[in-house]
């Protein structure tokens, strides 16, 4: 695989709260960091996302009386998983992992900043209608293929990859530069969805090895 100037590496939510010791730690989350640093060095175009919630965010279980993390509620845009409080704007948990080479990034997209709506995807919020602006950026920059890495495979990576595909980009998920949460079989469902939608799965080595 050859990486070109028309390709973009989209790095999802590599933040302290999703790594070991964080409030919504993804198992082995920090292990994606060296992988992402190695691959990011090969890309001209690198975009990072940063989950960025106000403290009173609707997706936080403690903001709902009698609800526990990982239960769900119905909102007007559909079912919403309730999470432990995480990635609160301005806190250490919301910072990028300290070893992530964020100087490689051309753009940082913050998402989930509206109190009443969550945003897993880097392209649309969870109502699937409110844009983050990333599609406009990618189109204006005439980028064609989106390589996705980061956390969590079965939530923000999945929704970002699916939305990018729906928007007409070629999409490849770098499997070993992602880690999943795995709620009720969500990792298996993610792999099924990628297959059905024509989202490719690539390995870090294949990408580093080149053509
Ligand atoms: C994420 C749950 C809540 C993610 C973000 O980055 O996958 N998951 N907020
Ligand atoms: Zn979040």
**pLDDT, tens digit, for every residue of 26-65?**
999 999 999 999 999 999 999 999 999 999 999 999 999 9
What is the model's pLDDT at position 67? 97
Q: Please report the sign of the dihedral spanned by the C-alpha atoms of residue 170, residue 174, residue 175, residue 179.
A: negative
What is the model's pLDDT at position 211? 74
Confirm or reject: Cβ of 147 under 6 Å from ligand 1. no
What is the model's pLDDT at position 210? 79
Confirm or reject: Cβ of 151 under 6 Å from ligand 1. yes
Cα 175 from Cα 178, distance rounded (Å): 6
Residue pair 66/127 in contact by the 8 Å Cβ criterion: no
- In the reported structure, the alpha carbon of residue 114 is separated from the centroid of ligand 1 by a whole-number distance in angstroms of 15
189-207 per-position pLDDT tens digit: 999 999 999 999 999 999 9
Cα 45 from Cα 26, distance rounded (Å): 26
Confirm or reject: Cβ of 51 under 6 Å from ligand 1. yes
Domain boundaries, the chain: 7-52+94-209
Query: What is the value of pTM for the model shown?
Result: 0.97
- In the reported structure, the alpha carbon of residue 15 is separated from the centroid of ligand 2 by a whole-number distance in angstroms of 11
Confirm or reject: Cβ of 52 under 6 Å from ligand 1. no
Nearest ligand, measured from the Cα of 117: 2
E strand or H helix at 175, and its extent? strand 170-179
Yes or no: domain 7-52+94-209 corresponds to CATH 3.40.50.850? yes
105-164 per-position pLDDT tens digit: 999 999 999 999 999 999 999 999 999 999 999 999 999 999 999 999 999 999 999 999
* pLDDT band for position 1 (cuts 50, 70, 90): low
E strand or H helix at 111, and its extent? strand 107-111
Rounded to the nearest angstrom, the gap between the alpha carbon of residue 90 and the centroid of all alpha carbons in its chain is 19
Q: Which residue has the tokens 């079912």?
A: 79
pLDDT at 177 over 70: yes
pLDDT at 167 over 70: yes
Look up residue 44 and give its two tokens: 């001209």
> Within a 13 Å sphere around the CA of 90, how many CA atoms are in the beta-carbon half?
2
- In the reported structure, the alpha carbon of residue 75 is separated from the centroid of ligand 2 by a whole-number distance in angstroms of 16
What is the model's pLDDT at position 78? 96
What is the model's pLDDT at position 2? 78
């Amino acid at each position: 695989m050859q990486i070109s100037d028309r390709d973009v590496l989209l790095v999802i939510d590599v933040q302290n709260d999703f790594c070991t010791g964080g409030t919504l730690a993804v198992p082995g989350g920090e292990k994606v960091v060296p992988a992402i640093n190695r691959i990011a060095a090969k890309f001209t175009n690198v975009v990072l996302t940063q989950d960025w919630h106000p403290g009173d965010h609707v997706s936080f279980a403690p903001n709902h009386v009698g609800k526990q993390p990982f239960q769900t509620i119905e909102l007007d845009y559909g079912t919403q998983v309730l999470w432990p409080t995480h990635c609160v704007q301005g806190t250490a948990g919301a910072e990028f992992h300290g070893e992530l080479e964020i100087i490689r990034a051309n753009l940082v997209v913050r998402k989930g900043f509206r109190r009443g709506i969550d945003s897993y995807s880097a392209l649309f919020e969870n109502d699937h209608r409110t844009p983050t602006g990333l599609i406009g950026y990618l189109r204006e920059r005439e980028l064609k293929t989106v390589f996705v890495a980061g956390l969590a495979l079965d939530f923000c990576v999945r929704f970002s990859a699916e939305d990018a595909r729906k928007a007409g980009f070629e999409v490849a998920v770098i499997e070993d530069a992602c880690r999943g949460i795995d709620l009720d079989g969500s990792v298996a469902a993610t792999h099924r969805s990628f297959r059905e939608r024509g989202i490719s799965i690539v390995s870090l080595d294949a990408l580093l090895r080149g053509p």
